[in-house]
Amino acid sequence: MRDYGLLRAISENEIELVRFWRNAPNVRANMYTQHEISEAEHSAWWTQLVARADQAYFMYELQGAPVGVVGFTAIDTVSRNASWAFYAGPDSPKGVGTKMEFLALDHAFSGLKLHKLYCEVFAFNKPVLKLHQKFGFQTEGTFREQRMVESRYVDVVRMAILQAEWSSGREAMKARIDSLLKD
């Protein structure tokens, strides 16, 4: 497989890098947590995260450098579903989101053995909505005026993909990505 990068554990010395990325304006603009995250708040988040079995976060590494984060939350081992989110560092190269999503879906369905993976995306975040659709995510609904962002209510789109849908579309998506990586 071409260089898709890898998902790996986040090391202790990268925790501050994760906070730096999360606080970048272009990342924060598309997240539920809109305020700048303090060191103490981030440390408390990290402490509870490592203690919980229903959450798993990974560093996305490309060509030996950390460039993004993938997180799975609300992991339900009975119904075999989970929520997920990802973000790239503000200076990450073009195409990182596509590679990260491919690896995240592989991990969700092969590693975590999920039946369903879902996410919530601000309706104004058209690039991410389009990316998820390319991977086979289906829109399950829109939460109208669900979140307050910059003093206005915005819609949130709920999307999901089933394991069978990923299995049937995986090779076509891989071929599509491989053709883009030839350049």
Q: Alpha carbon of 87 to those of 66, 67, 148, 156, 163: distances in Å?
A: 12, 9, 20, 17, 22
pLDDT at res. 129: 98
Q: For residue range 89-115, what is the model confidence (pLDDT) as tens digits?
A: 988 998 899 999 999 999 999 999 999
Q: Can you tell me the mean pLDDT for 137-141?
A: 98
What predicted TM-score, i.e. pTM, was given to this entire model?
0.93
Instruction: Say if CB 23 and CB 37 are below 8 A apart.
Output: yes
Please check whether the domain covering 6-181 is classified as CATH 3.40.630.30: yes
pLDDT at res. 29: 87
Domain boundaries, the chain: 6-181
Is the confidence at residue 1, as pLDDT, over 70?
no
The secondary structure of 103-134, three-state, reads HHHHHHHHHCCCCEEEEEEECCCHHHHHHHHH
Q: Can you tell me the mean pLDDT for 131-158?
A: 97
Question: End-to-end CA distance of the chain, in Å?
Answer: 15
pLDDT at res. 182: 74
pLDDT at res. 181: 78
- Return mean pLDDT, the chain: 94
Is the confidence at residue 69, as pLDDT, over 70?
yes
pLDDT at res. 3: 87
Counting residues of the chain whose pLDDT is more than 90, the rounded percentage is: 85
- Which secondary structure element, helix H or strand E, spans residue 161, and what is its range? strand 152-162
